[in-house]
Each structure stands twice: as C-alpha cells, then as structure tokens.
C-alpha cells in the first residue's frame, strides 16, 4: 500500500529543505527568523517615538465647509483639500456623508454613484472649454504604449488577459445599453397607461 | 506646476495646477523628483474606490526635495532630499502612539475605518498625491525621512510603499521556520512579500499569478516556485496536492480589489462596483491555507462589503491578519537589508516614464503591456 497522504497522519510526507541548503540558495535566508527582529512586532507598542512634538496637533483652518463621516466626533485637525464638493455630485456626496455612517451600504453606493455623476458633469463641462476631454490621449492609447515597443505585441500569444480586451467593453457598455433599453421600455409602459 | 489629474474612469491628463500651499504649521511642500504608479492606483483609475473626485492628483509613492516648510517644522529644511511614506499620520493620536500609523485618527475626516493616504481619493482624506511636480506633505516632522547618502533614489521610492508593504505582508503571516508560504499576485508587493518570506525563515515559497512574465520574475527575483492559475482547472486543488494535501501554512493575498479568475465575482466587483473588491484571491487564500493557518491580506480592497467565504475561515480555525502597512516602522530594518544586499528593490523597476506621458503609463500598467512590472514617474523638475 502506498503511504497515506499527510493530513491523515501526523508526519509530513515531504521533508523540508535544510537550513544550510536554504542559506546557500537564498541571500539573507532566516535573518528575520526571530519575530522580535520584525519591525511591526509586537503589533502595538505603547509610547513609540514618532517625531511628533505635540500632544494634539494645531488645527488646520476650515476655509469652507468640509464634509466628514458621522462616525467622527469632530473635524480632524488636518485634512485634504484637493477637490471640494460642488455640483450635483457634490450634493449626492454631501447627502451620503450627512445621512449614513460608514457601516451602511447606502453611504458607499451613493459615493460610487456620485463619482459617475462627477465624471459626466466634468466631461460635459469640458466640451464648453478650449480643452475638451480627449478620449485618445486621456485613456493613454497613444504612440507611447500600444503601438511602440512591445505594447501591442505583448497582448498576443499565451496571455490569459487577452479575453479582457474584447470582453470588458461588452460587459461595461452592454450594461448601459441594457439600462437604456429598460428606460425606454419603462417610458413606453408609462405612456401606454396614460 | 504640472500634475496628473483624474478625469473619470480610465481617463487622466496632465494639467497646469497651482503649486500647493502650506495649510498647517507642520506642512512641508516637496518638489517631487521621482514618483511611481502603484498597483492600487489602478483601482482608483478604474473607478473602484468610492469618492474619487475628478480633478484630484494620484500618487502615494514619491521622493523629492524639500521646497518649503511650515512654521512648526523642526526636522526638515528646504533642500533636504526626502522619501515620504504613503501614510499621512499625525504621530500623536491613540493609534499613532501605538505604532499603528496607517490607522491615524487625526488626518481623515471622510472615514474612521481608514487613515490618510496621499492621492488616494477622499475616502482616504482627500489629499493630492505625488504624481506632480510639487506635493503638500502634512506632519513633515513625522512622516518623511532624509534619504541616506548611500541610498539610490529609485530604492527610496520603492521604500515608500511596495517594499515595506510586501515585507509587512510576510510579517502578518507570522511565518515560522520551515513554513510553506503561498503568495497570490506577482506584482511588486507580491514579489517583495515572497522575498521577505525567505528572510523570515520560510521553507518553501510559491507564487501564483496568471501572467507568465511576472511569474518569471518571481522565479529569478524571489527564488520562488510558481504556478500560473490559468493553466489549472482548480488552482486550490493543485496547491493542496503540492502541499501534501495539507494546504500552505501561510497564504498572502497581494492582489486585492481586481482579482481575476472567477467571472461572476470579477464582473460584480471590478465591472459593476457592487462589491468592495473581487475577493477571488482572498477566497483562494482561505481555501488553500491549511487548517489553523494564517491568511495575510495586503491587497487593497474598497470599503463596500465583499462576498468572502467567512464560514470556511471560521471552520478551518484560521487567523486572518491585514492592514495598510505602517511604512516608517519598517524602514530601519529594511535599510539594513538593502545595505546587506538581501533586498535590491530597484531590480523590479521596468519603466521610467516622464510625467507628461503618465496617461500612457497608466494604460500600459493597467493593460499589462510591454512586460511592465513597476513604472516610475520622472518629474520634469528632477
């Protein structure tokens, strides 16, 4: 009878490679063998030196109303100011932050929806400027990627992600088409009722 | 200044923006010389991360020169060459005081579940990132460090996220001597995690991915055994067979939100954004680790729920460990490893892309063109 596989008895079938063999093969093998040599051990270290010379930081001025999670007791002393709320997407985001905690799916799903509205708002706005959105340069499908070096060539051959190249546009655009068909059908049904 | 600006999913361009200002006494303004695109930037680029607003600048891996400092900055002066960890953190709150820098409570009003990250959406605090000529760095006395004279700037950039996160992933696995470690994902973080597992005494390291050129790198750079999951009907069964039917002692998920390999999960998560990420890699990790084993997660996931096989984790008695890496805690030890030649981070750099061509860089990285592994972004002011 052949040896039963490991889980059915206590000993491993395959003996591990020896320390010496591993040291010879792998530069630095085992230098952090002791967990105490690992930088985030123990996980929490009270009183750690951080370089902070304040007990509580000075507070960054709030020059315009700043949205915050309702799970916070106050506006944090420091925050980013990269893109303040504005437009319809800003209204959706403001509602999501004011109404729902981070524990609620609605909070995050509204924020994701607002992101899509934001992209469309800005795309439409760009059409009224001297620099409208350019789908070729902004998606990076330029001379420097697909058509030079090994760009296009590297999509061919045994690549498993080749399928994504044709499937993804259908999956993404297909949903919009389905949503459109659904909307038209709903409108027709409503009109029919009148 | 010139800066990368997000215009919506799959769309970015380089625009003229105002040079950032000091907004808090402990701020510094850094002139960026080298930055990078991280795999987790792709989740933003693909519209996966909630509250990613048009007009923001991405980039949480960067190094540069101090341009200006606020009135309370004591540890840096203009002209210093610095590397900046991807975490924005205050150094004094309940969490920072215990070394949990990535969980700082004083820098992100938008959420309590995650700390601050440069250029990583308003969910992570709404900070602009370093894929620009200049960037605002809050708490300049706490986050940045001077780059040692002996250190290559490209190594310094990889020390701001990819290397410490990979090392941290291995550490969260609580590896003991002789452990079999499986790493899902052969991107930079996965490759560094595999390499770090050896330093912690692993007896066997296996890397799983679906791109042959990345698996080749896992063999040469990280001395790992490799499996291309696309070549197997069921990678979990294959991994079981490879580990005497026990399963691996430790599995590290270095994939995160856009894992491939399961059509339904991929479509509902990556394409329809109805999950906080496609948990294919995480579920494979739960399935392929042995009973009583440890799953370490350093792949980035969004805050929405995901369909994770939690029951199996319970029934197998697993330890699940995860976090964003508290980068600066890792630095002293990683500096030593680089000096000793155990780690050579810039061996993973495959592309050096001028800031002006960053849209093409994102496309190449996203579509995995030209055998790309790690693209750096070179600023015009470098």
A63 — pLDDT class (breaks 50, 70, 90): very high
Res A157 pLDDT > 70: no
- Across the interface, whether the CB atoms of B141 and A53 are under 8 A apart is answered yes
DSSP-based three-state secondary structure for B380: coil
CA-nearest of A103, A107, A78, A76 to A93 is A107
DSSP-based three-state secondary structure for B371: coil
Report the pLDDT value the prediction gives residue A146, as an integer from 0 to 100: 77
Helix, strand, coil abundance in chain B, percent, nearest 5 = 30, 25, 45
B231-283 per-position pLDDT tens digit: 999 999 999 999 999 999 999 999 998 888 887 888 888 777 788 888 999 99
- Across the interface, whether the CB atoms of B10 and A139 are under 8 A apart is answered yes
Q: How far is A181 from chain B (nearest CA, A)?
A: 18
What mean pLDDT, rounded, does chain A reach? Answer: 90
Report the pLDDT value the prediction gives residue A162, as an integer from 0 to 100: 73
**Residues B229, B371: Cα–Cα separation, whole Å:** 18
From chain A residues 53-112, the ones with a CB under 8 A of any chain B CB are 53-58, 60-61, 66-69, 71-72, 75-83, 89, 93, 97, 102, 105, 108-109, 111-112
Report the pLDDT value the prediction gives residue B63, as an integer from 0 to 100: 98
Report the pLDDT value the prediction gives residue A179, as an integer from 0 to 100: 84
Q: Which residues of A touch B244 (CB under 8 A)?
A: 5-7, 12-14
CA-nearest of A140, A138, A148 to B363 is A140
Whole-model pTM: value is 0.94
Within an 8 Å CB–CB cutoff, is residue B225 touching chain A?
A: no
The residues that bridge with B296 in the sheet, in sequence order, are B252, B321
Q: Which two tokens stand for residue B37?
A: 């695109």
**Residues A12, A6: Cα–Cα separation, whole Å:** 5
The residue ranking higher by pLDDT, A151 or B205, is: B205
CB environment B268-290: b (16+ within 10 A), e (fewer): bbbbebebbbbbbbbbbbbbbbb
Interface ipTM: 0.95
* Cα dihedral sign, B66-B70-B76-B79: positive
Residue of B nearest to A89 (CA): B53
Within an 8 Å CB–CB cutoff, is residue B25 touching chain A?
A: yes
Residue of A nearest to B58 (CA): A82
Residue of A nearest to B302 (CA): A108
Q: How far is A54 from chain B (nearest CA, A)?
A: 7
A75-121 per-position pLDDT tens digit: 999 999 999 999 999 999 999 999 999 999 999 999 999 999 999 99
Q: Which residues of B touch A77 (CB under 8 A)?
A: 24, 90, 106-107
Residues A33-60, mean pLDDT to the nearest whole number: 96
Res A149 pLDDT > 80: no
- Spans of chain B below 50 pLDDT: none
DSSP-based three-state secondary structure for B176: coil
H helices then E strands: how many in chain A?
5, 0
Q: How far is B260 from chain A (nearest CA, A)?
A: 9
Q: Which residues of B touch A41 (CB under 8 A)?
A: 171
Pairing of strands B225-228, B204-209: parallel
- Across the interface, whether the CB atoms of B99 and A26 are under 8 A apart is answered no
Residue A117: burial class (beta carbons within 10 Å; 0-12, 13-18, 19+): middle
* Cα dihedral sign, B315-B316-B321-B322: negative
Report the pLDDT value the prediction gives residue A144, as an integer from 0 to 100: 67
**Residues B12, B131: Cα–Cα separation, whole Å:** 11
Report the pLDDT value the prediction gives residue A168, as an integer from 0 to 100: 74
- Across the interface, whether the CB atoms of A138 and B99 are under 8 A apart is answered no
Res A176 pLDDT > 80: no
Report the pLDDT value the prediction gives residue A143, as an integer from 0 to 100: 67
């Amino acid at each position: 009878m052949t040896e039963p596989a490991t889980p059915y008895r206590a000993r491993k079938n395959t003996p591990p490679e020896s320390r010496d063999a591993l040291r010879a093969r792998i530069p630095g093998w085992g230098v952090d063998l002791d967990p105490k040599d690992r930088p985030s051990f123990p996980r929490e270290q009270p009183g750690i030196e951080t370089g902070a010379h304040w007990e509580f930081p000075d507070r960054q001025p709030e020059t315009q109303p700043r949205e915050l999670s309702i799970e916070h007791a106050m506006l944090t002393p420091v925050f980013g100011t990269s893109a303040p709320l504005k437009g319809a997407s800003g209204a959706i985001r403001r509602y999501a932050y004011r109404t729902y905690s981070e524990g609620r799916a609605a909070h995050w799903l509204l924020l994701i929806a607002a992101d899509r509205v934001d992209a469309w708002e800005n795309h439409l706005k760009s059409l009224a400027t001297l620099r409208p959105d350019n789908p070729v340069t902004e998606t990076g499908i330029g001379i420097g990627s697909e058509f030079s070096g090994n760009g296009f060539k590297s999509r061919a051959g045994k690549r498993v992600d080749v399928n994504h190249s044709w499937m993804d546009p259908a999956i993404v655009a297909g949903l919009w088409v389905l949503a459109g068909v659904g909307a038209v059908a709903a409108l027709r049904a409503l009109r029919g009722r009148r | 200044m010139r800066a990368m600006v997000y215009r919506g999913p799959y769309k970015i361009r380089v625009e003229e923006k105002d040079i950032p200002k000091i907004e808090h006494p402990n701020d510094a303004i850094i002139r960026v010389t080298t930055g990078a695109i991280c795999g987790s930037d792709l989740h933003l680029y693909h519209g996966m991360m909630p509250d990613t607003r048009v007009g923001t600048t991405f980039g949480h891996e960067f190094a540069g020169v101090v341009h200006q400092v606020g009135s309370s900055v004591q540890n840096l002066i203009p002209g210093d060459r610095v590397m900046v960890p991807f975490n924005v953190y205050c150094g004094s709150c309940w969490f920072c005081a215990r070394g949990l820098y990535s969980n700082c409570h004083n820098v992100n009003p938008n959420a309590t579940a995650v700390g601050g990250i440069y250029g990583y959406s308003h969910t992570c605090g709404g900070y602009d990132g370093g894929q620009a000529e200049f960037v605002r760095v809050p708490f300049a006395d706490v986050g940045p460090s001077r780059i040692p004279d002996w250190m290559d700037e490209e190594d310094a950039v990889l020390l701001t996220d990819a290397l410490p996160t990979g090392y941290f992933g291995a550490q969260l696995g609580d590896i003991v001597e002789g452990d079999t470690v499986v790493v899902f994902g052969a991107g930079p973080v996965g490759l560094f995690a595999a390499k770090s597992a050896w330093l912690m005494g692993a007896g066997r390291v296996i890397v799983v991915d679906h791109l042959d050129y990345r698996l080749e790198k896992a063999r040469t750079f990280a001395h790992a055994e490799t499996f291309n999951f696309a070549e197997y009907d069921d990678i979990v069964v294959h991994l079981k067979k490879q580990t005497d039917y026990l399963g691996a002692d430790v599995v590290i998920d270095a994939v995160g939100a856009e894992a491939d390999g399961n059509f339904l999960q991929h479509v509902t998560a990556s394409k329809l954004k109805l999950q906080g990420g496609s948990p294919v890699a995480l579920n494979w990790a739960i399935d392929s680790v042995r009973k009583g084993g440890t799953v370490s997660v350093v792949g980035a996931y969004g805050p929405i729920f995901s369909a994770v096989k939690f029951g199996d984790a319970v029934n197998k008695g697993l330890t699940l460990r995860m976090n964003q890496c508290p980068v600066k805690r890792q630095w002293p030890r990683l500096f030593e490893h680089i000096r000793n030649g155990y780690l050579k981070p810039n061996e993973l750099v495959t592309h050096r892309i001028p800031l002006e061509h960053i849209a093409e860089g994102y496309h190449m990285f996203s579509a995995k063109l030209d055998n790309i592994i790690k693209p750096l972004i070179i600023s015009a002011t470098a």
